[in-house]
């Protein structure tokens, strides 16, 4: 399978008469773009904003991030989600780089939503402050979940994907500045040189804990809670086969943008043919019942054995209950003779004194840590808030609170905030970007 991702580097974004990409400038016809957003009757209010690195703007509640793209030859960027099912990971897809579409609730937030500071001290906590962003800030008539802590955010997330596809069309007829080519030979047809290198797979554990549909990550539109671990080509992940869900405390989240760019996959590709023989992706999941966890770990280990995998990177979208899946999978692989490295975050508490993962096992002897979900973060007021700052305290964001004996509310009268890292949008960058680790103090 061969995938060509054509890159168009976005240097600036502005509103104008016609949606077009020219010489690094993405111009957006706001009215036309909003028509795309309003195609869903459930969207009641919507606006578009542009934010750039260094802007003293705070975004909250942020629900999703998506890289705008265009699938050459037509077809949905997210097969099985924004259009018909088709094979992802083959052919050519054009990407607007250094930018994302961010989806922000105009009022209502929830457990799974997060915060982004584009400038100031808070900017260091998230990847998205380093991008130019088109912000869709909108409200919906999904009243059934307005006051619920867990929100599916369906209308908003899908509006974000439509918008990303609409913006992607700006490069429909243009030649990319450069192209990343991703190709792996079929497993049984690889060269002798490749076969002599250690076989490496990446095991992904996307978030799938909710029994009810509408919250979990989707695999070609299929709820990952309802799947058994399956073998996938890495190109599929990079090309829209997976979309993010709406459940996990936000710093542990993989946004759809993260799936599209998954740095661990891209980095393994660089090693392919040099130091490793990159086998592909074993797509697992994170379910709550013990038997489901054990079944998934068993499937992963079986696949690794059957494929002749020598070493694997296991990475988990979440913490807490899913740590059992994470450690269980690492142990099952080690028991099958596969050398593992794990990539995830920790939950050591505000004082740093708690057990880092819910379950631990000495066999998980090579772990990369990307952050502490419960680290307290204090940030000064910003010049502007897009969305509603009060949502951080009022709506049960995983890192926010309404009242605390010592700390008071997460949102102060002057607009400054105190929160747990939990509410930082994709703050632990578990997909691989994290410049953070965990240290003893």
Partner 1 sequence: MKKAVVYLNQFFGQIGGEDVADHAPEIREEKVGAAMLYDQLLDAEVTHTVICGDNFMGSNTEEAVEIILDFLKDVDFDIFFAGPAFQAGRYGMACGEIGKAVKEEFDVPVISSMNIENPGVEVFKKDIYIFPGGHSAAKMRDDVKKITDFGNKILNGEKLLPAEEEGYYKRGIRHQYFLEDETPAYERAIDMLLKKINGEEFESELPIPELDLVEIAPAIEDLSETTIALVTSGGIVPVDNPDKIQSASATRWGKYDISGMDRLENRDSNNFKTIHAGYDPAAADADPNVVVPVDAMRKYEEEGRIGKLHDYFYSTVGTGTTQKEAARMGKEIAQELQDANVQAVILTST
- Please list every residue from 97 through 126 that binds partner 1, using CB under 8 A: 111, 124
Q: Please say which residue, 239 or 395, places its beta carbon nearer to partner 1.
A: 395
Question: Can residue 130 be called a binding residue for partner 1 (CB under 8 A)?
Answer: no
The whole-angstrom separation of Cα 171 and Cα 70 is 7
Least Å distance, CB 198 to partner 1, is: 5
Q: Please say which residue, 39 or 350, places its beta carbon nearer to partner 1.
A: 350
Least Å distance, CB 223 to partner 1, is: 13
* Residues in Cβ contact with 89 at an 8 Å cutoff, skipping those fewer than 6 apart: 1, 3, 182, 233, 234, 235, 236, 237, 238, 239, 241
Size of the residue set binding partner 1 (CB under 8 A)? 76
- Please list every residue from 149 through 208 that binds partner 1, using CB under 8 A: 149-150, 198, 200
* Residues in Cβ contact with 70 at an 8 Å cutoff, skipping those fewer than 6 apart: 77, 93, 94, 165, 168, 169, 170, 171, 172
What interhelical angle do 290-307 and 323-335 show, nearest 10? Answer: 40
* Residues in Cβ contact with 22 at an 8 Å cutoff, skipping those fewer than 6 apart: none
Q: Please say which residue, 387 or 400, places its beta carbon nearer to partner 1.
A: 400
- Please list every residue from 208 through 227 that binds partner 1, using CB under 8 A: 209-212
- Please list every residue from 65 through 94 that binds partner 1, using CB under 8 A: none
Q: Quick one: which H or E segment has residue 146?
A: helix 143-146
Provide the sign of the torsion angle of the four alpha carbons 316, 321, 326, 329, taken in this order. Answer: negative
- Per the rule left: phi > 0, alpha: psi between -120 and 50, beta: everything else, 69 is beta
Least Å distance, CB 420 to partner 1, is: 7
What interhelical angle do 154-168 and 30-37 show, nearest 10? Answer: 140
Least Å distance, CB 343 to partner 1, is: 5
Question: Can residue 426 be called a binding residue for partner 1 (CB under 8 A)?
Answer: no
Least Å distance, CB 262 to partner 1, is: 9
Q: Please say which residue, 228 or 438, places its beta carbon nearer to partner 1.
A: 438
Whether 31 and 18 have beta carbons less than 8 Å apart is answered as no
Whether 239 and 89 have beta carbons less than 8 Å apart is answered as yes
Q: Please say which residue, 73 or 353, places its beta carbon nearer to partner 1.
A: 353
Q: Please say which residue, 100 or 398, places its beta carbon nearer to partner 1.
A: 398
Least Å distance, CB 146 to partner 1, is: 15
Which two three-digit tokens encode residue 389? Answer: 């700052």
Whether 21 and 8 have beta carbons less than 8 Å apart is answered as yes
Least Å distance, CB 370 to partner 1, is: 5
Least Å distance, CB 353 to partner 1, is: 5
Least Å distance, CB 276 to partner 1, is: 8
The whole-angstrom separation of Cα 277 and Cα 190 is 9
Q: Please say which residue, 129 or 421, places its beta carbon nearer to partner 1.
A: 421
Least Å distance, CB 25 to partner 1, is: 29
How many CB atoms are located within 10 Å of the residue 54 CB? 12
Which two three-digit tokens encode residue 440? Answer: 């003893």
Least Å distance, CB 267 to partner 1, is: 4
The whole-angstrom separation of Cα 381 and Cα 355 is 33
- Please list every residue from 294 through 353 that binds partner 1, using CB under 8 A: 310-311, 313, 319-321, 339-341, 343, 346-353
Q: Please say which residue, 8 or 125, places its beta carbon nearer to partner 1.
A: 125
Least Å distance, CB 125 to partner 1, is: 9
- Piece in contact with partner 1 (CB under 8 A), picked from 38-46, 79-87, 167-175, 398-406: 398-406
Which two three-digit tokens encode residue 196? Answer: 């002599």
Among 128, 208, 422, 426, indicate the residue that binds partner 1 (CB under 8 A): 422
Residues 247-286: x where in contact with partner 1 by CB under 8 A, - otherwise, as a string:
--x-------------xx-xxx--x---xx----------
Q: Identify the CA nearest to 345 among candidates 374, 372, 367.
A: 372
Provide the sign of the torsion angle of the four alpha carbons 113, 380, 53, 262, taken in this order. Answer: negative
Residues belonging to the chain: 441
- Please list every residue from 26 through 65 that binds partner 1, using CB under 8 A: none
Q: Please say which residue, 136 or 201, places its beta carbon nearer to partner 1.
A: 201
Q: Identify the CA nearest to 21 among candidates 123, 157, 172, 163.
A: 172
Question: Can residue 434 be called a binding residue for partner 1 (CB under 8 A)?
Answer: yes
Q: Please say which residue, 364 or 418, places its beta carbon nearer to partner 1.
A: 364
- Piece in contact with partner 1 (CB under 8 A), picked from 59-67, 130-138, 223-231, 421-429: 421-429
Residues 358-397: x where in contact with partner 1 by CB under 8 A, - otherwise, as a string:
--xxx-xxxxxxxxxxxx--------------------x-
* Residues in Cβ contact with 147 at an 8 Å cutoff, skipping those fewer than 6 apart: none
């Amino acid at each position: 399978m061969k995938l060509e991702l054509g890159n168009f580097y976005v240097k600036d974004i502005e509103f104008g008469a016609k949606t077009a990409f020219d010489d690094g400038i993405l111009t957006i016809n706001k009215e036309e773009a909003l028509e795309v957003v309003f195609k869903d009757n459930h969207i009641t209010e919507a606006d578009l904003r542009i934010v750039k690195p260094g802007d003293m703007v705070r975004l909250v509640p942020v629900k999703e991030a998506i890289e705008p793209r265009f699938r050459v030859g037509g077809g949905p960027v997210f097969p099985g989600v924004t259009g018909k099912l088709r094979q992802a990971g083959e052919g050519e897809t054009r990407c607007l780089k250094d930018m994302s579409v961010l989806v922000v609730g105009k009022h209502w937030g929830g457990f799974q939503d997060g915060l982004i500071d584009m400038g100031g001290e808070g900017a260091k906590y998230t990847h998205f402050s380093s991008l130019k962003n088109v912000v869709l800030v909108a409200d919906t008539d999904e009243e059934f979940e307005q006051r619920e802590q867990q929100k599916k955010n369906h209308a908003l997330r899908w509006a974000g994907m439509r918008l990303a596809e609409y913006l992607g069309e700006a490069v429909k007829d243009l030649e990319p500045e450069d192209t990343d080519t991703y190709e792996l030979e079929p497993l049984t047809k690889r060269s002798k040189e490749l076969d002599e290198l250690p076989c490496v797979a990446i095991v992904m554990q996307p978030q799938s804990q909710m029994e009810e549909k509408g919250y979990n990550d989707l695999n070609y539109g299929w709820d990952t809670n309802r799947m058994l671990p399956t073998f996938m080509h890495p190109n599929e992940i990079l090309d829209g086969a997976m979309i993010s869900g709406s459940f996990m405390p936000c710093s542990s989240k993989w946004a759809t943008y993260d799936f599209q760019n998954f740095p661990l996959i891209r980095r393994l590709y660089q090693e392919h043919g040099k130091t490793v023989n990159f086998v592909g992706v074993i797509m697992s999941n994170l379910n709550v019942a013990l038997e489901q966890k054990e079944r998934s770990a068993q499937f992963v280990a079986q696949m690794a054995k059957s494929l002749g995998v020598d070493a694997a990177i296991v990475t988990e979208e979440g913490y807490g209950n899913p740590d059992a899946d994470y450690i269980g999978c690492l142990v099952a692989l080690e028991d099958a003779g596969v050398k593992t490295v794990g990539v995830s975050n920790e939950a050591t508490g505000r004082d740093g004194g708690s057990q880092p993962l819910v379950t631990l096992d000495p066999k998980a002897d090579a772990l990369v840590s990307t952050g502490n979900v419960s680290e307290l973060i204090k940030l000064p007021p910003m010049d502007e808030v897009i969305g509603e700052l009060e949502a951080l305290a009022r709506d049960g964001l995983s890192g926010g609170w309404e009242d605390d004996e010592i700390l008071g509310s997460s949102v102060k009268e002057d607009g400054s905030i105190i929160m747990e890292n939990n509410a930082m949008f994709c703050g632990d960058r578990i997909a691989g970007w994290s410049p953070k680790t965990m240290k003893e103090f």
